[in-house]
Amino acid sequence: KQTWIITCFCLQLLLLNPLVKAQSSCGNPVTDDVNDIAKLVGNLPNDYMITLKYVPKMDSLPSHCWLHLMVPEFSKSLLNLLQKFSDIPDMSDVLSNYSIINNLTRIINDLMACLAFDKNKDFVKENGHLYEEGHFIPEDFFRHFNSTIEVYKESADRLDKNDCILPSTVGTPENDSRVAVTKTFLFPPVAASSLRNDSIGSSTSSNSKVSLITEEALGFISSSSLQGISIALTSLLSLLIGFILGALYWK
Give 123-149 pLDDT, tens digit per residue. 888 888 999 999 999 999 999 999 999
Residue type, 108: I
Of 9-23, 118-132, 154-168, minimum mean pLDDT range? 9-23
Examine the pLDDT at 165 and tell me if it is beyond 70.
Answer: yes
* Greater pLDDT, 215 or 129: 129
What burial class does residue 183 get, using C-beta atoms within 10 Å of its C-beta: 0-12 exposed, 13-18 middle, 19+ buried? exposed
Q: Which of 17-26, 42-51, 83-92, 232-241 has the weakest average pLDDT? A: 17-26
Distance, CA of 142 to CA of 204 (rounded, Å): 25
Greatest distance between any 2 Cα atoms in the chain? 78
Mean pLDDT of 33-42: 92
User: Does the pLDDT of residue 76 top 90, yes or no?
Assistant: yes
Phi first, then psi, for residue 60 (nearest 5°) are -85, 0
Comparison of pLDDT for 227 and 125, the residue scoring more: 125
23 near 232, Cβ under 8 Å? yes
Residue 97 binned pLDDT confidence (cut-offs 50, 70, 90): confident
Q: Which domains does the chain have, with CATH numbers?
A: 28-231 (1.20.1250.10)
Report whether pLDDT(242) > 60.
Answer: yes
pLDDT at 112 over 50: yes
Distance CA 74, CA 116 (A): 16
For residue 84, pLDDT beyond 60: yes
Whether the predicted pLDDT of 120 surpasses 90 = no
* Of 174, 123, 143, nearest in space to 52 by CA: 143
Q: What is the mean pLDDT of the chain?
A: 70
